[in-house]
Homo-oligomer: A and B are copies of this chain.
Amino acid sequence: MASIEENGSNPKRQKLTDLPERGNADGAGDEDERGLFFKDFTTTSVLREDTKAKLMTLKGKFNGKDGDAVVLLEKLPFDKETVANLMSSSTMHQTLNNDIYSTYEAFPPTNFPDYKTTMIYPATEKHVIKYSEQDMYVVRETKDLYENVTKQCLEKNQFSIQWVYNILEKKCESERIVFEDPDPVNGFILLPDLKWNRKDLDSLYLVAITHNHIKSLRDLNKESLPLLKNILKSGTEAIEKEFNIPVSKLRIYVHYQPSYYHLHVHFSNLKFDAPGTDVLRAHLLDSIIENIEMDSQYYENKTLHYTVKENDVLHQAYKDHGYFK
């Protein structure tokens, strides 16, 4: 249900004036078609809290119903169109007043939708895990650990990347292609990442997928240099031409570990706090090129650091190997 999550992160807001009057809440919630009712909901555990993003996920039960429910609560962002109305109709409670600075708690009127909630019922154990906080661990992957643990784990757990071949063979998403260099060795297809709506340039996010079947950063060496340089040059030129965003406003990087094992390069707008730009996952394409120019076997020999989540197959493989005490 990726679509539900994606909609949730940038919901289309109704204008205040379009909303029905909801000021006479009697402490109840609308019942949905399955007879679910928040008044009858009991939280059994808080799965995840994110105080920065103002999110919370809960597991719980409905009175008189079997099975678990997962509930996502998410505050709605402020909206340019309605913020003036929200402010002028809010009741305020001053909490601090010092010279030119003052702070308030604000109470909005009730005819204003204030948070979004997503309910999953009945929820399976997979749902509960998906929406739970998972412990993370750093792996210091030496050359030896790569050969003996990572590589074997990935080979054993072959993930399907049929969808990547569908793109490369133009069976799917060909209408989304922004640029292509068809060369089988040094060429690539550039297209918008699924997280980007292709409209809001502040969150511009594209991916270059190589025609060459290279698994990951670990397999790059001096033979990959023409490919990498081609992606850097032709990719940024295409983005400047198509979207008018210059290279000085782009973050260009490869993930290790990647989410799929077919070489791809991420181009995201600096302004966009894109997932996966942390130093424990992202490797700048420019630095990759420079490191290989210095030493063709740089990425074969290098210790690479990344995080694994408790439920990842890689975490299990490293645990079985005795890496985590």
Contacts and interface: CB of A to CB of B under 8 A. Distances in A.
Interface centre among A53, A121, A248, A273 (most CB of B within 10 A): A248
Contact of A54 (B8, B30, B54): B54
Contacts of A136: 249, 270-271
A123 interface: yes
Interface residues of A, number: 108
A77 B54 contact: yes
A280 B284 CA distance: 8
A101 B303 contact: no
Contacts of A115: 90, 105-106, 108
Given A84-B43, A249-B137, A279-B279, A107 B103 contact: no
Contacts of A277: 278-280
B110 A51 contact: no
Interface string A122-137: 1100000000010111
Contact of A97 (B32, B133, B281): B32
B91 A28 contact: yes
A181 B135 CA distance: 32
Contact of A8 (B83, B87, B103): B103
A83 B43 contact: yes
Contacts of A22: 91, 93, 107
Interface of A: 1, 4, 7-10, 20, 22, 25, 27-30, 32-34, 36, 38-39, 41-43, 46, 49-56, 58, 71, 73, 75-78, 80, 83-84, 87-94, 96-97, 100-123, 133, 135-138, 140, 247-251, 253, 270-271, 273, 277-284, 286-287, 290, 294-295, 302-303, 305, 307, 324
